[in-house]
Amino acid sequence: MGPFTLNRIPKWKVPAILITLVALIVISRYFAGSPGLGAESSVAQRSFTIAGMNVIAWTPPQTVAGPWPVIIFSHGFHGCNTQSTFLTKGLAAAGYAVFAPGHHDAACHHPLALLRPPDEPFAQPDKWSDTTYADRQHDIEKLIDALKHDPTYGGSQFDWNELGLIGHSLGGYTVLGLSGAWPSWKDPRVKAVVGLSPFSTPFLTRGQLGDLGIPAMYQGGTLDMGITPFVAKANGVYDQTRPPKYYIELDGAGHMAWTDLRSTYHAAILDYTVAFFDRYLKGKPFPEALNVPHDVVSAVRIAD
């Protein structure tokens, strides 16, 4: 029968399914921000407004010497900037300054946003172009510019020459676009990108994945039916991306595995994400132990 995709879902069911998914993300907000364990408990978290956006910042413990590379996190459709604190806190504990803007489609503080349909149907990626969700691209560009000129975050403790992007679902679409999948969006300041179950089918038909020109990591799940098959298939997103590139597949993981809702895969997600950014933003070798499938990881593909 081939891979299950949104195209196989009756159109009348798609809104209900999407609402269910995004409602789960909204629920996750109430679990976000809870005290961490170990080094994560000493991570500083701050909410503030800059460039007209609500932004959450996580900075490393003061015991972690700087300057800290910077990572921008982009949330999913109708998600929120606190949807994946296990990851944003974990990255901060590992020595990264992490910033997450709240995009206009976020539903955490505006539940009526759940009623707003996507700018273009997810099941019709051929209708997407570099104008689709260009507001998200603008959000991140404005955020980077504003933070670099901010007295607090533009100082010597923050290494803006080592900038990475990470995004979940529609956030994955956003950060891949900024990395060059939409050439008109490309920001040359970005040094590495991670897509977590990234909505990337528009790039297979109209984008330029071969023009990323920076290291990329994709993470998917065997039960992430609507997205992962397009990343992992022959001549799919991973294949069309130039090296260095990584693909990590989580055994039994669905689309919400990268949020705070389910902890089963959190350790593996954090391990691989930190190792990737350590490799390309800090110059450390990628750990040998992560080169092969193990535990909850069913596939590892690396072309370095």
Using CA atoms, how far residue 295 sits from 57, 220, 260, 289, in Å, is: 31, 15, 20, 11
Q: Are 255 and 236 in contact (CB under 8 A)?
A: no
User: Do the strands 44-50 and 53-59 form a parallel or antiparallel pair, or are they unpaired?
Assistant: antiparallel
Which DSSP string corresponds to 88-150? HHHHHHTT-EEEEE--TT--SS-GGGGGSPPSS-TT-GGG--TTTTHHHHHHHHHHHHHHHTS
Q: Give the DSSP H/E element, type plus range, for residue 228.
A: helix 228-232
pLDDT number for residue 106: 86
pLDDT of 156-188, one tens digit each?
999 999 999 999 999 999 999 999 999 999 999
- E strands, the chain, are 44-50, 53-59, 68-74, 97-101, 158-168, 190-196, 216-221, 245-250, 297-303
pLDDT number for residue 38: 53
pLDDT of 184-203, one tens digit each?
999 999 999 999 999 999 99
Greater pLDDT, 35 or 208: 208
Phi, psi of 119 (to 5 degrees): -60, -35
For residue 24, pLDDT beyond 50:
no
pLDDT number for residue 26: 44
**Within its chain, how far is the Cα of 199 from the centroid?**
10
**Within its chain, how far is the Cα of 201 from the centroid?**
16
117 cis-preceded (ω within 30 degrees of 0): no
Q: Please report, rounded to a whole number, the percentage of residues in the chain having pLDDT higher than 90.
A: 79
Domains and CATH numbers, the chain: 6-303 (3.40.50.1820)
For residue 42, pLDDT beyond 80:
yes
For residue 149, pLDDT beyond 50:
yes
* Residue 129, token pair as written in the block: 């172009």
With bands split at pLDDT 50, 70 and 90, how would you rate the model's confidence at 138?
A: very high
Residue 91 has a CB neighbour count (10 Å cut-off) of 27
For residue 150, pLDDT beyond 80:
yes
> The whole model's pTM is what?
0.88
Closest CA to 238 of 216, 208, 259: 216
- Judged on CB neighbours under 10 Å (0-12, 13-18, 19+), 112 is exposed
Which of 31-35, 51-55, 103-107 has the least mean pLDDT? 31-35
Q: Residue 201: what residue type?
A: T
Residues listed for the chain: 304
